[in-house]
Amino acid sequence: MELYNLKHPQQKVSFSQAVRQGLGRDRGLFFPSQLPEFDDVDALLEMDFVDRSVAILSAWLADELGRDNVESLVRDAFTFACPLVAASDHQYCLELFHGPTLAFKDFGARFLARALSQLAGDEKLTILTATSGDTGAAVADAFFGLENIEVVILYPQGRISPLQEKMFCTLGGNIRTVAVQGSFDDCQALVKQAFEDEELKQAIGLNSANSINIARLLAQICYYFEAIAQLPAAQRRQAVVAVPSGNFGNLTAGLLAKSMGLPVKRFIAATNSNDTVPRYLRSGHWQVNPTVATRSNAMDVSAPNNWPRVEALCRANSWPLATIEGAAVSERECELQLQALHQQGYLSEPHAAIASRALSCSLKGDEVGVFLGTAHPAKFKESVDELLDLDLPLPEALAQAAVKPLLSDAMAADYDQLRSYLLKPE
């Protein structure tokens, strides 16, 4: 597989290089030089999830890694199901939260961790990543205990749920966590700065596990096919897919699936009040406002770093940008939707509720909506309990983490401090 740097198209790398480097020169994102397409998507949809995922990822990676390696990566990483569950009239939720850390990020992080440890060999690596919530847990879990890989996770202090914090800040071992006094965008800026620091990069074998890493995005393509495969055959050409979006990695993966031939009528980019993208789709104006805190905190991102890939995909496929519908959902609308879903017998959480609300406003005629269930409701227990007047039991994975002490360090949003922290061994 060949990829090029979107900022410097003459910089070309293999999958292995792209996975190890994360970003290209000038923080450019890597993007595939060629987009594979399936001739017979219907046959693919008949396969089971794991076999189909091997076929999908082989289309990208078999030339470089060999099909057997791709197959063992997939079988190792995708060990849990993603059921499509009826949530209301005309709407299904693709539940992506049945993995070890109860969020969709398990798919990408587990695949990335296994790919990296296969590709890195004896080289020592430091994974540096910023999280607005669930990435941290998924990355920490996926890499915990891997030899030769040190993980440092930055997160905005006080802006993720206490339970989320417990899930990745209590492991110890090769996982170090840092509460940064700032927003998620500040954390992300620090990570980007570290990646521009060539000396540091060399010294500690810096790598990122953020959704900028192409391995994560490729893994996420697979569950979009699964969503359509689980729809009744008669509805497969009528699907509108709503993606609760923050950094837009998930939407990028959905568009990659479409470019491989998956029949999706339309994608909806659903955001909370951090609505840079919906405003941009409406006005053609890219204007980043200060990040505001919401209940759907994993989507509190106002400068989404995957957006250039979305535009590149549209260009490569000659899709007008209007292929993507933008929807910004207010806090109040999100709360009402969560309650409405619950009244219809479906228990959700704020992120998925935003995508569901976007579908409710958008579906027409015989269209059928699929919204992505990106996190388990219990991960957002405070909101869910309050809005639905419940006392949700904690799933086992959360209950165990909840009683462990936090092991995080604290830091100002200051690059020099981060640099010496990274250079200092544990």
Ligand X SMILES: *Cc1c(COP(=O)(O)O)cnc(C)c1O
Enumerate binding residues for ligand X (CB under 6 A): 103, 105, 133-134, 211, 244-250, 298-299, 351, 374-375
d(CA 389, CA 372): 24
Q: Which helix (H) or strand (E) holds 423?
A: helix 415-423
In this complex, which beta carbon is closest to ligand X, that of residue 116 or of residue 355?
355
Q: Is the dihedral of CA 367, 47, 141, 87 positive or negative?
A: positive
> What's the min distance (Å) between Cβ of 237 and ligand X?
26
In this complex, which beta carbon is closest to ligand X, that of residue 51 or of residue 325?
325
> What's the min distance (Å) between Cβ of 353 and ligand X?
11
> What's the min distance (Å) between Cβ of 14 and ligand X?
24
> What's the min distance (Å) between Cβ of 298 and ligand X?
3
Q: Which helix (H) or strand (E) holds 41?
A: helix 41-46
Strand duo 30-32 + 84-88: pairing:
unpaired
In this complex, which beta carbon is closest to ligand X, that of residue 208 or of residue 245?
245
- The three state secondary structure string of 275-335 is CHHHHHHHHCCCCCCCCCCCCCHHHCCCCCCCHHHHHHHHHHCCCCHHHEEEEECCHHHHH
In this complex, which beta carbon is closest to ligand X, that of residue 167 or of residue 375?
375
In this complex, which beta carbon is closest to ligand X, that of residue 175 or of residue 212?
212
> What's the min distance (Å) between Cβ of 52 and ligand X?
22
Q: How many residues does the chain have?
A: 426
Q: Which helix (H) or strand (E) holds 77?
A: helix 67-77
For residue 368, with 0-12 CB atoms within 10 Å meaning exposed, 13-18 middle and 19 or more buried, which class applies? buried
Strand duo 84-88 + 91-95: pairing:
antiparallel
> What's the min distance (Å) between Cβ of 355 and ligand X?
9
Whether the CB-CB separation of 272 and 328 falls below 8 Å is answered with yes
In this complex, which beta carbon is closest to ligand X, that of residue 105 or of residue 166?
105
In this complex, which beta carbon is closest to ligand X, that of residue 244 or of residue 369?
244
> What's the min distance (Å) between Cβ of 148 and ligand X?
27
Whether the CB-CB separation of 351 and 371 falls below 8 Å is answered with no
